Structure 1
Amino acid sequence: MEPAASLADDRRAQYTRRIRAAVERLLEQSSFTSLSVEDIIREARIARSTFYVYFADKGQMLGALTEDLLDDALVAVQGWWELPPTAEYAQLRTAMAGFIGFFEQHSALLKAVIDASAYDPVAAEGFARMVQSGQDGIAEHIRAGQHLHAVSPDIEPDVVARWLVRLVEQGLYDQIPAASPQRHERLIDAISMISWNVLYRGARG
């Protein structure tokens, strides 16, 4: 039998997923600040008492949704970070398109997290972990690539990783959500070319 703590964690994860889906549906029509707990539990079809078993308030709930989004984002970005050393630009662009597509699908929740991080300490902490995870992952990708002579040896992994994460974050927040299909493709071209030129081109001779 599974330990009681493990079962409780599984139930919390299930409810978090259920609430996240409900919140994302609601965010298609409303801002996060305008949503009440009542709106959320009605959309998720759960009891108020169940909500408060797992979350003290809406801010703590958003923190949990941020962690859940981060877990999925780290899976989505593996298509980029796990590219082979011999990968060509077209493979990088395909990986970037998949990653951008993930965040485009969840752009309303990402915007809610970024906006709430300006005033809610729990949301701010969750968003900071998301940013730090991105920076750490890119920096490790750079170091591994440099070891394999697939990434330019002249760049500082941590510094470049911070720049790239902030660049992508702003693009996901400001440009991707409102982009037409044609502009969407140009934006993917742009971030793919920036990443290619900064990271890989100098190692390809």
Structure 2
Amino acid sequence: MAVDRELRAQRLQAVRQRLLDGANGLLEQGAWPEVTIEQIAASAGVSRTVFYQHFADRQELLLTLFGGIAADLTHVADDWMVMGGADPSAEHGRSLRQLVGVFQRHGRLLQAVRDAAVSDPEVAAAWERLSTGIVEETTVAIERDVAQGHTRVDDPAEMSRALTAMMENHLLRSFGRAPFPDPDAVAATLTTVWVRTLYDGR
């Protein structure tokens, strides 16, 4: 019956979500290489066999978690990247505070993806797609600000790569593993670097 199939699908989805939530919780306690399938299954209250009914391996689960927040990371800087208002410094500050919030909530997961990317080509490709997309969007935003007279940058693409790499590394160092710094201080520091680099010298 259709009702039975729907209930079964709901139960399967609930188990899958428990596995994802359990893995996320374990990442708050230790680094990804230390997290085992047995631990993930136990945290969800299921067996190892049930784990494999939902995910082929740990990396597939990790990529699923990563996919869940990739959109947040792509659009978190829209205040600056998309809006393009009269005060890019203020817009950039708001975007950076939002970005720090994402890393504060998900930094351990992002660190796990970065760590796994070293040895797993599929994870590396997913991380590279996200990083490349952010660099490209940042380049477009810098080019817009150059055209509008807000900044003077000779090579927007290279500036984007440099500032984005600095920001990524700083945020992972800050929120990838405990102890964590004051998020307001991190946001203020990043804002100072970006604003002074792009706008103070125009």
Q: TM-score range by the shorter chain?
A: 0.7 to 0.9
Aligned-partner residue type, residue 199 of structure 2: Y
1:43 is displaced (CA, Å) by: 2.6
Matched ranges for 1:19-168 at <5 A: 19-45=19-45, 48=48, 51-87=51-87, 89-147=89-147, 149=148, 151-168=150-167
How far apart in 1 are the matches of 2:122 and 2:163?
25
Aligned to 1:189: 188
C-alpha spacing 1:189/1:33, structure 2 compared with 1 (3 Å): same
Q: Is the Cα contact below 8 Å between 2:77 and 2:92 reproduced in 1?
A: no
CA spacing shift, 1:71–1:88, aligned 2, 3 Å: closer
Hey, what does 2:172 align to over in structure 1?
Answer: 173
Provide the aligned C-alpha RMSD in A. Answer: 2.9
Letter in 1 for 2:160: A
More divergent stretch after superposition (71-80 vs 39-48):
39-48
Cα distance in 2 for residues equivalent to 1:29 and 1:21? 13
> 72-81 vs 16-25, which deviates more?
16-25
The number of residue pairs the alignment matches comes to 190
- Quote the offset at 1:21 in angstroms: 2.9
**Per-residue CA distance 1:141-191 (angstroms, 9 max, x = gap):** 2223334x054243322211111111011101213453443xx43332221
Report the TM-score when normalising by structure 1.
0.76
Q: Which whole-Å CA distance do the structure 2 matches of 1:126 and 1:48 have between them? A: 26
Residue 93 to residue 145, structure 1, CA distance change in 2 (3 Å): same
For residues 102 and 37 of structure 1, what CA distance do their matches in structure 2 show? 26
- Given the superposition, is the C-alpha separation of residues 70 and 29 from structure 1 closer, same or farther in structure 2, using an over 3 Å criterion? same
Structure 1 unaligned spans of 5+ = 1-11
Distance apart, 1:30 and its partner CA: 2.3
How far apart are the structure 2 equivalents of 1:17 and 1:78? 29
| Structure 2 runs not aligned, ≥5 long | 1-11
Q: Distance in 2 between matches of 1:66 and 1:15?
A: 18
